[in-house]
Structure 1
């Protein structure tokens, strides 16, 4: 493969870039560094098969130019700010939906025939079926992020049908691991550094969530690319377990050796669009031979350890 990776300096993107290079694939990394970090590409930048192109997925002309010569796109660039989406509704439209359209148009101009897309389990809203399979009836969308990602999925399916492309769409649970830069582990750890005697928790702490380690995520994507041969291939990615927010808090505080007082905001969700129970049925990808190596607890602890050794990330996000 000669891969083009959007969001190459991000959490999942940079881990994917490293894996592709390890496997011997030439990689063009594309990022505007609005949320990505150059240090995440430090290892890749020393590799002869890596080329970094600084640019924006909203710049169709520029992206089309630098995509030339590649044969598969891993489209990971996105706005993933679910919690504050209502404060800037246009951002999800532009950075998730229009950006995906631009990627597909750049692919069409360069005759690139394959796309791998990072979607989200948020597209299921508050599903009636749990664990939620890929063919679950679609409920009302509950977040602008989920709605914009679902629109991206629709565009990919239509381009695959209309222009002979092939697509692999992955609906992730929340991803954890090295280079993690936003989410509950990040927020809780930042709080505990500021005031270890108190931890503010959105909701009642009983929200049930599933998580997946970033390396397990990349393993699953690779497995699907090798094994799934449909025009459009849709997979949930997640573990076969879930935990309460309170469980994660207990693992973190126990690992850090602190006993903060927990201050709950109340209610069964932390914000508008916060699904109180996310648990995806990943039997479709498991049937191809993939299974996760990390438990949720192991993923939380490894993420916490990485953040403790890379506190510059917390500083940069404030």
Structure 2
């Protein structure tokens, strides 16, 4: 297939490029490099079946030219603001980078007659709840601008899928970890400890508890869902049904860095405004399809720490 990946120079997107190229697809990546990094795809740039275009999805005329020339069979849309704290400081960040980018891509798919679409969604659409989350859970009440942008995107994707007959796959991610990440709890802890090896500041009380999934397991899950589900509109949770507390991540990072650091908690049940202290996934739907993550949450975290440290 001739595939467009938005955000393909990013953390998850670059791993998706690797996986799709192994399947002999031709890949075009569009990324504005605000969060993506060219070094993530440097090993692909010399390939004849890979094209990288540095462009902003909000530049409509430039994107029309890319779609006109690309003759794409399918779009994988991963571009978004993935930094929830940044979006919390300025709501326009997620309006532009999370929602508006999605709407522009949908408009281009409609205009150029592209009938297959993948969307990277998130647990943040659910908001704050102690209930076990599945694909049919509701009502959805996001507490972050990022979650609101993703939920608004899902609403328009559903409408475009129905109205313009675009076959759609949506997978909702938990916390994703692994090599090439640019932010998140592991990334922050490592950088804090490199600045001060004697003390690690942890935002909140350390009891925040969430499922973590290793990035290569996630990409395998995305492709498995697309291969094995064929409705017009397909929605699946991906990740691990186990969870890891932030205080355990802190201990693992200190241990893997071979430090004797003291952990200092700032207090409160969350790290920042818009942070969801805990959530839990029900993966029965994707498990019944035949997919299970190769690593549980704790193993995903430890593996990601080791990869980040070059082990």
* TM superposition score category, shorter chain reference: over 0.9
TM-score, reference length from structure 1: 0.94
Shift of 1:113: 0.5
- Asked if the contact 1:238/1:281 (under 8 Å) is kept, the reply is no
Match for residue 118 of structure 2?
116
Displacement after TM superposition at 1:255 (Å): 1.6
Distance 1:157 1:301 in 2: 37
Say if 1:191 and 1:128 are closer, same or farther in 2 by CA, change over 3 A: closer
Aligned residue runs from structure 1 range 167-316, under 5 A: 167-309=168-310
Moved segments of 4+, more than 4 Å: none
Q: Secondary structure at the match of 1:149?
A: helix
RMSD: 1.3
1:115–1:167: 8 Å Cα contact kept in structure 2? yes
Shift in CA distance, 192/128, structure 1 to aligned 2, threshold 3 Å:
closer
Structure 1: gaps of 5 or more residues: 311-318
Residue 307 of structure 1 deviates from its aligned partner by 2.4
User: Which residue is equivalent to 1:38?
Assistant: 38
Determine helix, strand or coil for the equivalent of 2:107: helix
How many angstroms apart in 2 are the aligned matches of 1:182 and 1:243?
18
Where does 1:22-61 land on structure 2 (aligned, <5 Å)?
A: 22-61=22-61
Q: Return the offset for 1:110.
A: 1.5
The aligned counterpart of 2:11 is: 11
Question: For 1:139-191, what per-residue CA distance to the aligned partner results, in whole angstroms no more than 9, with x for missing partners?
Answer: 43211100000000011100001101011111100111111111000000000
CA distance in 2, matches of 1:168, 1:125: 22
The TM-score normalised by the length of structure 2 is: 0.96
Mapped to 2, the partners of 1:241 and 1:259 lie a distance apart of 28
Which residue pairs with 2:91 in the alignment? 89
Q: Count residues in correspondence.
A: 309
Consecutive unaligned residues of structure 2, counting only runs of 5 or more, are none
The answer to whether the 8 Å contact 2:123/2:172 transfers is yes
Q: What's the CA shift for 1:128?
A: 4.5
